[in-house]
């Protein structure tokens, strides 16, 4: 069995990560997760994508929302609202325990990786989930009038303001997680996550960026666009606002320096020859993961196609 490194954002990426978790040994799997969405809220360190992946793999996520914990209660949030504090970022009672625990672990001197593994242990998960970096990188959304912090744009303003650009702060002090030895992976999978705000923060980290450029034959992109629509979240909306055609071709052009292989949905097969012209080997599968079976089936199909190489 080959060693797989997944580059993963939140909800969309976590679905494929679950399929991989169900299909290969934990020893062959590492998941590097975007931390550009992290922020301090109510004095707590919140890592939405790390938690989405952790809860999803532990079978603890709220499947209807995609984020947060299942069977959640909201007493703290209601009490906070009664005190006229802001409640736009919804923290459930059980989820709150995760943020309190992480904040305390970090305050006691643990790195974000150590704190993540400590939390994973309490969910009976092996140490295969890693933050992309132990140093903070913050994603900002440039809109016509204002630069917005990521969660303000995503949750408070519900992704409504049109996007003109992205800014990543903290890059001068950040490096790709040194606990992930890139040379040990046979295959690197770019999950079907938002290229602009989930994968791009990772690509800003020079050691990862240089490695992907040098070993692009190891890198497979799983398209987050199917039939001119986002699988999840604002990818298509952002593409449109940035002036690009909403299609797998735009995804392929975005990753063309980093990857030689793309997995597209069967409904996009008509784009194959243009993808070939861009230098991609094209694989087609059902990319819509709306059940555990379809998540497992997609992961197994990707693994099968890559193992036979």
Q: Give the nearer residue to ligand FO1 in terms of CB position, either 28 or 234.
A: 234
Site for ligand FO1 in 67-126 (CB under 6 A): 67-68, 89-91, 95
Q: Give the nearer residue to ligand FO1 in terms of CB position, either 119 or 205.
A: 119
CB 194 within 8 A of CB 235: yes
Q: Considering the complex, what minimum distance in angstroms separates the CB of residue 17 from ligand FO1?
A: 13
Strand 163-169 versus strand 138-143 pairing type: antiparallel
Q: Considering the complex, what minimum distance in angstroms separates the CB of residue 154 from ligand FO1?
A: 6
Q: For the CA atoms of 40, 203, 1, 19, what is the dihedral angle to 10 degrees?
A: 50
Beta bridge partners of 261: 220, 281
Q: Considering the complex, what minimum distance in angstroms separates the CB of residue 282 from ligand FO1?
A: 27
Q: Give the nearer residue to ligand FO1 in terms of CB position, either 68 or 195.
A: 68
Q: How is residue 269 written in tokens? A: 């097969």
Q: What 8-state DSSP symbol labels residue 47? A: -
Q: For ligand FO1, which residue of 4, 6, 8, 9 counts as binding (CB under 6 A)?
A: 9
Q: Give the nearer residue to ligand FO1 in terms of CB position, either 19 or 68.
A: 68
- Could you tell me the CA-to-CA distances from 138 to 6, 159, 284 in Å, in that order? 21, 17, 34
Strand 261-265 versus strand 219-222 pairing type: parallel
Among 100, 98, 53, 92, which residue's Cα sits nearest to residue 72?
92
Q: Give the nearer residue to ligand FO1 in terms of CB position, either 14 or 205.
A: 14
Q: Is residue 155 within the footprint of ligand FO1 (CB under 6 A)?
A: yes
Q: Give the nearer residue to ligand FO1 in terms of CB position, either 11 or 287.
A: 11
Strand 147-149 versus strand 138-143 pairing type: antiparallel
Q: Considering the complex, what minimum distance in angstroms separates the CB of residue 270 from ligand FO1?
A: 30
Q: Considering the complex, what minimum distance in angstroms separates the CB of residue 281 from ligand FO1?
A: 29
CB-based closest residue to ligand FO1: 10
Strand segments, DSSP code E, in 12-161 are: 29-33, 39-41, 44-46, 129-131, 138-143, 147-149
Q: Considering the complex, what minimum distance in angstroms separates the CB of residue 87 from ligand FO1?
A: 9
CB 242 within 8 A of CB 200: no
Strand segments, DSSP code E, in the chain are: 4-8, 29-33, 39-41, 44-46, 129-131, 138-143, 147-149, 163-169, 187-190, 219-222, 225-226, 229-230, 261-265, 281-285
Q: How many chain residues bind ligand FO1 (CB under 6 A)?
A: 17
Q: Give the nearer residue to ligand FO1 in terms of CB position, either 195 or 275.
A: 195
Task: For residue 256, give the 3-state DSSP assignment.
Answer: coil
Q: Is residue 131 within the footprint of ligand FO1 (CB under 6 A)?
A: no
Q: Give the nearer residue to ligand FO1 in terms of CB position, either 95 or 265.
A: 95
Q: For ligand FO1, which residue of 4, 5, 10, 287 counts as binding (CB under 6 A)?
A: 10
Q: Is residue 39 within the footprint of ligand FO1 (CB under 6 A)?
A: no
Site for ligand FO1 in 163-192 (CB under 6 A): none
Q: Is residue 37 within the footprint of ligand FO1 (CB under 6 A)?
A: yes
Q: Is residue 51 within the footprint of ligand FO1 (CB under 6 A)?
A: yes
Question: How far, in Å, CA of 258 to CA of 39, rounded?
Answer: 28
Q: Which residues bind ligand FO1 (CB under 6 A)?
A: 9-11, 37, 46, 48-49, 51, 67-68, 89-91, 95, 151, 154-155
């Amino acid at each position: 069995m080959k060693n797989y490194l997944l580059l993963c954002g939140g909800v969309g990426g976590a679905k494929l990560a679950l399929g991989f978790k169900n299909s290969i040994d934990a020893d062959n799997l590492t998941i590097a997760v975007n931390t550009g969405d992290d922020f301090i809220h109510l004095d707590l360190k919140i890592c939405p994508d790390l938690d989405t992946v952790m809860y999803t793999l532990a079978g603890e996520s709220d499947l209807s929302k995609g984020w947060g914990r299942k069977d959640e209660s909201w007493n703290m949030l209601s009490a906070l609202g009664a005190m006229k504090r802001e409640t736009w970022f919804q923290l459930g009672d059980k989820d709150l325990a995760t943020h309190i625990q992480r904040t305390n672990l970090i305050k006691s001197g643990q790195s974000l990786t150590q704190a993540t593994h400590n939390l994973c242990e309490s969910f009976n998960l092996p140490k295969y989930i890693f933050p992309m970096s132990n140093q903070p990188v913050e994603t900002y959304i440039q809109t016509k009038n204002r630069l917005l912090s990521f969660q303000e744009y995503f949750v408070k303003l519900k992704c409504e303001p049109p996007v003109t650009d992205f800014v990543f702060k903290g890059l001068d002090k950040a490096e790709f997680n040194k606990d992930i030895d890139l040379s040990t992976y046979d295959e690197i999978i770019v999950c079907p996550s938002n290229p602009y705000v989930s994968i791009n923060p990772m690509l800003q980290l020079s050691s990862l960026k240089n490695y992907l450029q040098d070993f692009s034959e190891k890198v497979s992109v799983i398209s987050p666009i199917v039939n001119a629509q986002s699988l999840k979240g604002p990818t298509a909306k952002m593409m449109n606002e940035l002036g690009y055609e909403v299609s797998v071709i735009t995804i392929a052009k975005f990753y063309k320096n980093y990857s030689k292989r793309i997995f597209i949905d069967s409904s996009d097969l008509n784009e194959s020859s243009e993808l070939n012209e861009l230098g991609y080997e094209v694989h087609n599968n059902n990319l819509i993961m709306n059940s555990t079976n379809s998540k497992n089936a997609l992961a197994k199909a990707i693994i099968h196609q890559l193992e036979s190489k």
